[in-house]
Chain A
Amino acid sequence: MNSKVVAAIIVLALGAFGLAVYFSRPVNPSPDGNASVDSAAAPAATNPSPAKVIYISAPSPVASTPPVVATPSSMPATNHAAYVQERNAELMSLAMNNDSNSLNTIWSELSNADPEIRAGALAAVVQFGDRSVTPRLRELAAQTPDTAEKAEIIKAADFLDLPSLTELHRPPATNAPQ
C-alpha cells in the first residue's frame, strides 16, 4: 500500500481516537463548580481547536513532562520515517534468508511508490545475492525513468554479477608482484 495512504490513515485514526476520547470523557463537576480538566488537557481549554485536542488527548510517554504538541504536518513525517526504517529493516532481514518467498517479497517492493522503500529493497536484493535476478534488474533499469535510480539498479546488477569472495578462492598467484 502507498505509504502516504498509510500515513494518512494513521493520522485520521489518531484523530478519530482523540476526538472519541475527548467527547467520551465525563465532565465531572469539581468542588468549585467548574468542570475538571487535567493539567495535560489545560491548553485545550484555552484553544479548543480540533487539531490540538487530538494530540493532547494522545497518551504521553512520560507523565511528568509537558505533552509534545506535534504539528499535523510533522507527525506524518515522523511516522513515515519510522515506517520506512522498519520496512527496510524487514527487507534486509529477509535478505538473509535463502528462500524464493523472501526474494519475491523483496522484489515486490522494488515497485513501491516510495523511493526510499525501493532503495531499501534494492539493497536487500544485493544482499540476498541471487545472481539469476540480474537480467530482471537490467530490465527494471530500462523501465526506470529516474536516471539516478536507473544507475543504482544497474550498479546493483553489476555487483551481483561479480564472483563473491568465497567463489573466488584459489591458490595464491605465483610470481605476483609484491
Chain B
Amino acid sequence: MKLTTKIVAGAAALALLTMAVGSLQAQVTQVLTITATASIQGNSSDNNTITTYASPTKFSVTTKVILGALAVDEHAESNYLAGSTFPSGAKLVTINNNNNTNDFQVLDKNGNLLVDVSDILSFNQPGENSIFSGKQNDSTQLASPSTVGSQLLTLSFDDTGIPGGEGVKFFYTGIGTGTTTDTTPNVNTGVYTETDNGSLTSGTGEGTSQGTQLLITGTASATGKGTLTYVP
C-alpha cells in the first residue's frame, strides 16, 4: 500500500511522535524526555478598594519532576508499592501499540518494569492532517530506509482523579515530527532494526496545579531503537 494511501486510510500506526507509518510490527520502546515551563496564577488580595493580583509564578517541569509525581500518584493508587519515589535511574518510556495508542511505563535503570502509568500520561492527535515524506517499501511497508511525518500532537498529564495524588493536570499541543528508520529484514528470519526518533516542539496548553490555573509551554522528545521481526 502506498504511503499516502495508508495515511488517508488512517491505517498508519502513530508511534509516539515518530509516525511509524509502516511499522505494523513495531513496538519500539522509546525513552521520553519532557521539558516544560508553566505560569501559575498568583494569589490575590483585596483591601476593599483595590484587588491586587500577584505576578504569575513560573515553574519548571522535567522528566524527573514528572517521574516524581508519577511515583506519588501510582503509590497512592497502590499500583506501585515500593514507595512514593522511584529508584535513581528510573526512566519514562512509551511503547507504541498497533492500534494507534501508546503505553507509558516507568522502567528501572536495567529496563525492568516498575509500573505502567498510562492512566495518567497520554498522547493523542487532535488534528486530522499529516505531512509525510521519505521512502517506504511497498511489500514490507517498512521505511526504506526512513520516513518522516508531522502532525499535531498533544501530551496530557492528569492525576487529579487520584486521592492522595499530586493534583496536577495539564496538556500541551504542538507539531510532532518523527523519523522512523528501518533496516531491510533478514530474508530468513525477518529480523530488522527500527530506530524511532521524535519530537513535539513549541507545545502550548493549560492545566491546573492543585486547583490553581496555569498556562504551559513545553517540548517532548522520544528516542528508541528495537530489533523487530517482520512477518509477511
- A contacts with B, residue count (CB < 8 A): 37
Q: Which residue of B lies closest to A65 (CB)?
A: B184
A171 near B: Cβ within 8 Å? yes
* Inter-chain contacts of B89 with A (CB < 8 A): 93, 96-97
* Inter-chain contacts of B184 with A (CB < 8 A): 61-62, 65
A33 near B: Cβ within 8 Å? no
Which single member of B41, B166, B185 contacts A173 (CB below 8 Å)? B41
* Inter-chain contacts of B6 with A (CB < 8 A): none
**Interface flags, B44-74, vs A, CB<8A=1, else 0:** 1110000101000111111111011100000
A111 near B: Cβ within 8 Å? no
Q: Which residue of A lies closest to B64 (CB)?
A: A129
B contact residues, range: 35 or more
A63 near B: Cβ within 8 Å? yes
State the 8 A-B residue pairs at the shortest beta-carbon distance, nearest first.
A172-B211, A162-B60, A168-B59, A64-B187, A173-B43, A98-B88, A175-B44, A164-B65
**Interface flags, A62-88, vs B, CB<8A=1, else 0:** 111100000000000000000001000
Contact: B44 with A166, CB < 8 Å?
no
**Given contact pairs A164-B60, A164-B61, A165-B60, A97 touches B88 in the complex (Cβ within 8 A):** yes
* Inter-chain contacts of A172 with B (CB < 8 A): 210-212
* Inter-chain contacts of A171 with B (CB < 8 A): 210
A-binding residues in B (CB < 8 A): 31, 33, 35, 37-38, 40-46, 51, 53, 57-65, 67-69, 88-91, 109, 166-168, 183-188, 195, 197, 209-213, 223
Which single member of B31, B61, B210 contacts A170 (CB below 8 Å)? B210
B-binding residues in A (CB < 8 A): 61-65, 85, 89, 92-93, 95-99, 123, 126-129, 159-160, 162-177
Q: Can you list 18 A-B pairs, Cβ within 8 angstroms, ordered by A?
A: A63-B188, A97-B109, A129-B65, A159-B35, A162-B58, A162-B59, A162-B60, A163-B59, A164-B60, A166-B65, A169-B167, A169-B209, A172-B210, A173-B212, A174-B44, A175-B51, A176-B44, A177-B44
Contact: B166 with A127, CB < 8 Å?
no
- B151: min CB distance to chain A, Å: 23
